[in-house]
Amino acid sequence: MTFFSVIGYKNFVNYIPHRHYDGFGLSSKAVLGIKEKYNPSLIITIDCGTVDLEAIKLAKDNKIDVIVTDHHEPKAELPEAVAIVNPKVGNTYPFTGLCGAGVVFKLIQALIARGNFSIPSGVEKWWLDMVGVATIADMVPLRDENRVFALYGLKVLRKTRRPGLQKLLRKQKIDPQYLSEDDIGFTIGPRINAASRMDNPEDAFLLLATKDEDEAEMRVLHLEKLNTERKATVALMTKEAHKRLELLEEVPKVLVFGSPSWRPSLVGLVANKLAEEYNRPAFLWGRDGNGMLKGSCRSGGDVSVVRLMEATPEIFHEFGGHHMSGGFTVKEEEVHFFF
């Protein structure tokens, strides 16, 4: 959005899928919704699309081109997109560890280098605050280019002109001058993510995008409230999982817990805690707004959760992600086997 506005391009809209009502990544449902609402000729994905073959085929059938920008593991077959920008696809990019925002930043750098935009030279470095936040909050390895993004991202973030981030830091009594990656990991990241986990992802986007002080203030307060609710709910879910573990004779090799009353957007946080505590893979599921059983998994060691799910495909509707963490939907009739 910042790149488009700086080059003066206005004919676009941002669309952030709703975790609770849209599917994973780019879903067919979202493509149809976007088509009906905006009738675009192009969709550019961010942080998704590599494995969304069906939705991208649907877009193509509806005369919508798709450019995928993503960092997720590809499957054997790639989508029919007009371009796929993913460092894990094609073995041509020297560093595969970028996060979704890192990939977008690299694309913008390439566009600026090749295009002929009348923009101040080097202006893109001022957007590194967002790339730094994303890189640190997404917990990608801080090596290679990610290290550069984290370091310079923090430098820019300390001088951020975004009223939303300024107010968020002030509210937490963080002096921007001494801002560290822990402030991103433990304070900024969870508050941005609370929007999509508890309510509407747009709330976080608008906090970062607004130039209005009053709007920023209001959005910070809203995110604070959601984050407090998020913490309480996750604590309850973790307690319930612990209680169920205590009833078992021994701790299973792979932890699997779920409840139709859990929010799929929160189970990843609980999976994180359990996988870390027991040093083994944790799969947790809940039920989303469409009645789908949907979950998250974390490795907790050196077992690849993607490989685990590939070994038992009959249980899952869809699955994807990285070796350390992933997401899935379970077939309703299979949930008891899974459990």
For Mn ion, the binding residues (CB under 5 A) are 47, 100
Helix/strand/coil for 96: coil
Would you say 47 or 52 has its CB closer to Mn ion?
A: 47
Min dist CB 71 to Mn ion, Å, is 6
Would you say 73 or 241 has its CB closer to Mn ion?
A: 73
Q: Which amino acid is at 292?
A: M
Q: Taking a C-beta distance cutoff of 8 angstroms, is the pair 192, 172 a contact?
A: no
What b/e string do you get for 208-226 counting C-beta neighbours within 10 Å, with b at 16 or more?
bbbeeeebbbebbebbeeb
How far apart CA 106 and CA 72 sit, in angstroms, is 16
Min dist CB 140 to Mn ion, Å, is 8
Min dist CB 141 to Mn ion, Å, is 13
Would you say 100 or 189 has its CB closer to Mn ion?
A: 100
Min dist CB 322 to Mn ion, Å, is 8
**Alpha helix positions (H), the chain:** 2-7, 28-38, 53-61, 100-114, 128-137, 144-158, 163-171, 181-183, 189-198, 202-209, 213-246, 264-278, 305-311, 335-338
Would you say 322 or 331 has its CB closer to Mn ion?
A: 322
How far apart CA 14 and CA 7 sit, in angstroms, is 16
Would you say 78 or 218 has its CB closer to Mn ion?
A: 78
Would you say 50 or 160 has its CB closer to Mn ion?
A: 50
Would you say 60 or 322 has its CB closer to Mn ion?
A: 322
Helix/strand/coil for 67: strand
How far apart CA 77 and CA 79 sit, in angstroms, is 7
Min dist CB 99 to Mn ion, Å, is 6
How far apart CA 71 and CA 47 sit, in angstroms, is 6
Distance of CA 48 to the CA centre of its chain: 9
Min dist CB 46 to Mn ion, Å, is 9
Min dist CB 2 to Mn ion, Å, is 19
Rg (CA), the chain: 20
Q: How many CB atoms lie within 10 A of CB 240?
A: 15
Would you say 137 or 220 has its CB closer to Mn ion?
A: 137
Min dist CB 259 to Mn ion, Å, is 26
